């Protein structure tokens, strides 16, 4: 624990990120290469995201289930694109219970195959449809370079898997779940993501269409925050997921899958953090309010701590997550810096004068200095703090939206794209499917096709690269 300044966010975003993750005690290095340990302060943010999603999944008729961690190698091979996409990243179990296995088992990199096999057994008739399931769990995609939350061999996520009678229903589900994600990204994490469709070369291995939410981080890079896939009949055909329709005809199902991982914790850090550290959106902050007692002697100490108890109770009763920082041997100033670094949305300072006047001093994490401070009466404090938390949510969202909009640039030539990418930001330009030139742009600029935003200008234009007619604009950016 120290109050040393963080690496400068504007100069070395990556060092700033790593430092903050470890200093705010969100994660720790692990002895296993490729893996990190997620500590409580990071895990609680994930729990917040998880609860927000789980409630919405259930409200839209989905149920949780649990499928095996292990997948027979032969399953992955049934969907040609799928195995090609995932083979380089597999962890393989060859021994179990002291013996070599007859068929090696893969640790799930994602569960379309094993769930597809199960659905094929379970689904017989149109009466069994739709099947709407979700799984919370861990997956493994082999990886030796680690960045906490962003890149690890094992990560936690959810994966939804549904089966439908028609293509239209599958598409509706795919877009519904994109909207559910958007709701959480926007209204819970306070990140103004951009909904879009992936290009053919960026879509999920085995999918018909992949939708995404692309969010802009503080260094103007993109982070894919989730994906929702319309799998068409690809997996249904590979795994014989069939049903008898109302006319007693055998049909293949239409399936979808959709996932969001603890990457979102990384997105929260990088979308909102500043030079002082984290700035946590109130709905996800493990502590929404920290109370720092201020005193110079034992009498003041007992008066202040005595006054804080009923304040805490009132806030807790109103469902506000509160922490009283009673640490000894640390000055209030040190504590202020520490909690600013850890991103707590509201700091309440309580000293002897405040006790005498029945007030507290509230400081907003999102507005620095004096402008962010106000004196609040202790009476009705829960209501005023609740309102303040809403203001902070809106404040973070507004700042992130302004930042995002200032850093999306329309480009009409490749040179312009290069300038945008070089300076940082998302380049938006007319584009039609062109996998070869996507590769070239990536090789030459490191920028990738992020998505065709669902919100389009309409009409048509000319590809900024080839000049060919194009009906859609696409976003290009460097990405995590």
Residues that bind a second copy (CB under 8 A): 28, 30-32, 34-40, 43-44, 47, 63-72, 75, 87-98, 104-105, 107, 114, 117-118, 121-122, 133, 137-138, 140, 142-144, 153-154, 156
Is 38 or 314 the residue whose CB approaches a second copy more closely? 38
Phi and psi (nearest 5°) for 114?
A: -70, -30
Give the Cβ contact number of residue 263 at 10 Å. 20
Task: Tokens for 408, please give them.
Answer: 């999306």
Chain-centroid distance, C-alpha 170: 24
Half-sphere exposure of 212 (CA within 13 A, CB side): 23
Residue 149 CB, nearest approach to a second copy (Å): 11
Is 60 or 87 the residue whose CB approaches a second copy more closely? 87
Task: Tokens for 470, please give them.
Answer: 């194009």
Is 94 or 394 the residue whose CB approaches a second copy more closely? 94
Task: Classify residue 251 as left (phi > 0), alpha (psi -120 to 50) or beta.
Answer: beta
Residue 30 CB, nearest approach to a second copy (Å): 5
Is 28 or 398 the residue whose CB approaches a second copy more closely? 28
Contact 438, 201 (CB under 8 A): yes
Contact 463, 429 (CB under 8 A): yes
Angle formed by the axes of helices 13-23 and 263-272, to 10°? Answer: 110
SS3 category, 324: strand
Is 87 or 384 the residue whose CB approaches a second copy more closely? 87
Is 39 or 151 the residue whose CB approaches a second copy more closely? 39
Residue 307 CB, nearest approach to a second copy (Å): 24
Task: Tokens for 433, please give them.
Answer: 């499917």
Pairwise CA distance, residues 348 & 383, whole Å: 14
Residue 474 CB, nearest approach to a second copy (Å): 31
Given the structure tokens 């549904």, which residue do they identify? 162
Pairwise CA distance, residues 102 & 431, whole Å: 49
Pairwise CA distance, residues 390 & 377, whole Å: 18
Is 72 or 461 the residue whose CB approaches a second copy more closely? 72
Residue 144 CB, nearest approach to a second copy (Å): 7
Angle formed by the axes of helices 263-272 and 40-59, to 10°? Answer: 110
Residue 98 CB, nearest approach to a second copy (Å): 6
Burial-class residue 153 by CB neighbours within 10 Å (0-12, 13-18, 19+).
buried
Residue 95 CB, nearest approach to a second copy (Å): 4
Pairwise CA distance, residues 469 & 449, whole Å: 18
Is 4 or 66 the residue whose CB approaches a second copy more closely? 66
Is 106 or 216 the residue whose CB approaches a second copy more closely? 106
Residue 384 CB, nearest approach to a second copy (Å): 27
422 contact partners, CB below 8 Å, separation of at least 6: 445
Residue 92 CB, nearest approach to a second copy (Å): 4
Residue 331 CB, nearest approach to a second copy (Å): 17
Task: Tokens for 264, please give them.
Answer: 């979102």
Is 81 or 87 the residue whose CB approaches a second copy more closely? 87
Beta bridge partners of 348: 291, 362
Contact 250, 244 (CB under 8 A): yes
């Amino acid at each position: 624990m120290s109050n040393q300044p963080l690496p400068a966010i504007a100069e070395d975003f990556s060092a700033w990120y790593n430092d903050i993750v470890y200093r705010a005690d969100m994660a720790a290095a692990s002895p296993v290469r490729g893996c990190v340990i997620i500590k409580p302060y990071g895990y609680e943010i994930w729990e917040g995201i998880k609860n927000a999603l789980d409630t919405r999944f259930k409200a839209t008729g989905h149920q949780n289930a649990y499928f095996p961690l292990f997948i027979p190698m032969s399953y992955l091979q049934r969907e040609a694109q799928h195995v090609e996409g995932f083979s380089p990243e597999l962890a393989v179990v060859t021994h179990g219970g002291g013996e070599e296995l007859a068929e090696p088992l893969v640790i799930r990199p994602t569960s379309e195959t094993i769930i597809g096999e199960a659905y094929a057994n379970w689904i017989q008739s149109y009466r069994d449809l739709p099947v709407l399931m979700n799984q919370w769990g861990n997956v493994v995609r082999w990886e030796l370079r680690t960045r906490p939350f962003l890149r690890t061999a094992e990560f936690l996520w959810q994966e939804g898997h549904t089966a439908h009678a028609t293509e239209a229903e599958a598409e509706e589900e795919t877009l519904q779940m994109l909207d559910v994600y958007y709701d959480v990204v926007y209204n819970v994490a306070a990140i103004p993501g951009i909904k879009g469709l992936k290009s053919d070369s960026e879509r999920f291995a085995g999918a018909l269409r992949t939708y995404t939410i692309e969010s802009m981080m503080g260094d103007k890079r993109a982070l894919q925050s989730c994906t929702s896939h319309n799998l068409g009949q690809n997996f249904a055909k590979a795994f014989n997921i069939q049903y008898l329709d109302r006319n007693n005809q055998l049909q293949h199902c239409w399936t979808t899958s959709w996932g969001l991982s603890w990457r979102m914790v990384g997105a929260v850090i990088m979308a909102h953090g500043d030079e002082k550290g984290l700035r946590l959106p109130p709905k996800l902050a493990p502590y929404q309010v920290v109370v720092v007692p201020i005193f110079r002697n034992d009498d003041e100490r007992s008066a202040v701590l005595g006054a804080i108890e009923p304040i805490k109770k009132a806030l807790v009763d109103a469902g506000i997550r509160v922490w009283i920082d009673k640490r000894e041997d640390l000055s209030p100033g040190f504590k202020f810096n520490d909690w600013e670094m850890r991103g707590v949305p509201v700091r309440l300072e309580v000293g002897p004068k405040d006790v005498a006047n029945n007030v507290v001093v509230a400081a907003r994490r999102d507005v620095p200095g004096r402008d962010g401070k106000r004196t609040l009466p202790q009476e009705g404090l829960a209501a005023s703090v609740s309102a303040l938390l809403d203001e902070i949510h809106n404040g973070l969202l507004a700042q992130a939206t302004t930042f995002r909009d200032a850093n999306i640039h329309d480009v009409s030539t490749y040179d312009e794209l290069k300038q945008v990418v070089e300076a940082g930001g998302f380049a938006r330009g007319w584009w039609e499917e062109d996998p070869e030139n996507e590769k070239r742009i990536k090789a030459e600029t490191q920028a990738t096709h992020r998505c065709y935003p669902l919100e389009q200008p309409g009409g048509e234009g000319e590809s900024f690269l080839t000049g060919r007619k194009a009906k859609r604009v696409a976003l290009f950016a460097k990405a995590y």
